[in-house]
Amino acid sequence: MPFSEDDLRAALRRKEPSADFAAKVMARLGEQPEGERRATPDRRALAVLRWPIQVRWAMAGALAATLLLAAGLQQYQRRQEQVRAERARQQTILALQIATQKIDHVFQRASRTPVQMPVNTKEQL
Amino acid sequence: MEGDRDIQMVLTLRQAAQGSHEAFGDLVRQHQTMVFSIAYHFLRNRAQAEDVAQEVFLELYKRLNQIESPPHLTFWLRRVTVNRCIDQTRRRKPELALEDVAEPKADSAHGDPLLSRHLQKSVANLPERRRAIIILRYQEEMDLAEIAEVLEMPLNTVKSTLQRSLLELRKKLTRKLGEVRYAIF
């Protein structure tokens, strides 16, 4: 049997819950312990203030130590990079010095050796 | 007028998020019909639908700080209600609901009561995802993109599933009403 979309809309129209529905929800909400009802970020943040003083100091100390460690690590990495860069610079200078010496050596040998002129075949004849 | 209502909704939402029970009660009253109706058409059992709807609102109370705006609230309620209904359907064994025994009152103002009743039953017997698509489309008048977002499904899947579901409903209804006619004549 064909049916239209309006028939579906009519069949699935909204229905009202019982008259005391909202009251039942609020009653069930009242039955739940406060802790289970909600965990908003504000209340979670405030929960820190309820920690014992020793725990708060320990947390602060741990946080400070972590920050110092992170800063130290960053400083160490930066120093290592500087050392690597300096080493690379020294190696480049050394390589250039060696190359210069080699070229000088080649020039010196070349200037000592007499130049042999090619034989003129016409004069021989 | 519409703008005033929106502002009022935003204020109510904010007050509820700050812990006002009165404001939360207002939110419940404003959305209870929508939430209950989705659950009712999904489960076709008044008591279970009320129970699921209550749980949805209790969950909402816990998550109020995550709700950004009134449209987000509606979206959240629809999604959570459908998911709770799917969970409920998987958990429960089918039981005979009062609604399956007899229609308490036929509302002739909304079309053919016999057709409506058969449509409701046929929808309630569809697989969960298909049922959810039909309910969100024809009860909540949501467009397909919104349904895809609520059900976390690709848009094309929603389109094809809706078409298949309508086809299946037509087939089922033809069979069912054919049997009724045969029994009468």
- The string of pLDDT tens digits covering residues A52-108 is 778 888 989 999 999 999 999 999 999 999 999 999 999 999 999 999 999 999 999
Q: Which residues contact B137 (CB under 8 A, 6 or more apart)?
A: B144, B147, B162
What is the domain-level CATH number for residue B146?
1.10.10.10
Q: What value of ipTM does the predicted structure carry?
A: 0.80
Residue B1 and residue B85 share a domain: yes
* B51 part of a folded domain: yes
User: Are B76 and B118 within one domain?
Assistant: no
Residue B61 sits in the same domain as residue B2: yes
Report CB contact under 8 Å: B58, A9: no
Say if B90 falls within a structural domain. Answer: yes
Split into its structural domains, chain B has a count of 2
Amino acid at position B138, single letter: Y
Please name the residues in contact with B12: beta carbons below 8 A apart, sequence gap of 6 or more: B23, B26, B27, B30
What distance in Å separates the CA atoms of residue B67 and residue B78, rounded to the nearest whole number? 13
Task: Check whether B157 has a pLDDT greater than 60.
Answer: yes
Q: Whole-angstrom Cα distance, residue B154 to residue B32?
A: 28
| pLDDT computed for residue B113 by the predictor | 83
Q: Which of B64, B97, B130 is the last residue of a domain?
A: B97
Same domain, B24 and B73: yes
Residues B31-61 have pLDDT tens digits of: 999 999 999 999 999 999 999 999 999 999 9
Mark which of B47, B63, B97 sits at the end of a domain.
Answer: B97
DSSP secondary structure string for all residues of A57-125: HHHHHHHHHHHHHHHHHHHHHHHHHHHHHHHHHHHHHHHHHHHHHHHHHHHHHHHHSPPPPPP-HHHH-
pLDDT over 50 (residue B105): no
* Residue B151 covered by a domain: yes
Quick check: B148 pLDDT over 90? yes
Which value, to the nearest 10 degrees, does the dihedral of the CA atoms of residues B68, B74, B80, B85 take?
Answer: 170
Query: What pLDDT sits at residue B180?
Result: 56
Both B17 and B88 in one domain: the answer is yes
Radius of gyration of chain B (CA): 18
d(CA B80, CA B78): 6
Given this model, what pLDDT does residue B22 score? Answer: 92
Is residue B134 predicted with pLDDT exceeding 90?
yes
CA dihedral A55, A60, A66, A69 (to 10 degrees): -120
**Contacts of residue A7 in chain B, CB cutoff 8 Å?**
111-112, 115-116, 119
Q: Is A47 on the interface with B (CB under 8 A)?
A: no
- The confidence score (pLDDT) of residue B103 equals 46
Residue B86 lies inside a defined structural domain of this protein: yes
Tally A–B CB contacts below 8 A: 111
The residue among B97, B118, B134 that closes a domain is B97
The CATH number of the domain holding residue B69 is 1.10.1740.10
Within B92-154, residue ranges assigned H as helices are 98-101, 113-124, 128-138, 144-151
Checking if the pLDDT of A39 tops 50, the result is no
Query: Do B91 and B128 share a domain, yes or no?
Result: no
Please, are residues A38 and B61 in contact by the beta-carbon 8 Å criterion?
yes
Residues B73 and B8 in one domain: yes
Query: Which chain A residues are within 8 Å of B116, Cβ to Cβ?
Result: 7, 10-11
Is the pTM for the entire model greater than 0.80? no
CB contact (8 A) between residue B25 and residue A26: yes
* B32 and B92 inside one domain: yes
Is B32 a member of any domain? yes
> B16 and B85 share a domain?
yes
Residues B11 and B55 in one domain: yes
Question: Is B184 domain-assigned?
Answer: no
| Neighboring chain B residues of A39 at a CB cutoff of 8 Å | 62
In a domain, B102, yes or no: no
How confident is the prediction for chain B on average, in pLDDT?
A: 86
Q: Where residue B114 falls among pLDDT bands split at 50, 70, 90?
A: confident
Domain annotation covers residue B103: no
Q: Residue B59: which domain range?
A: 1-97
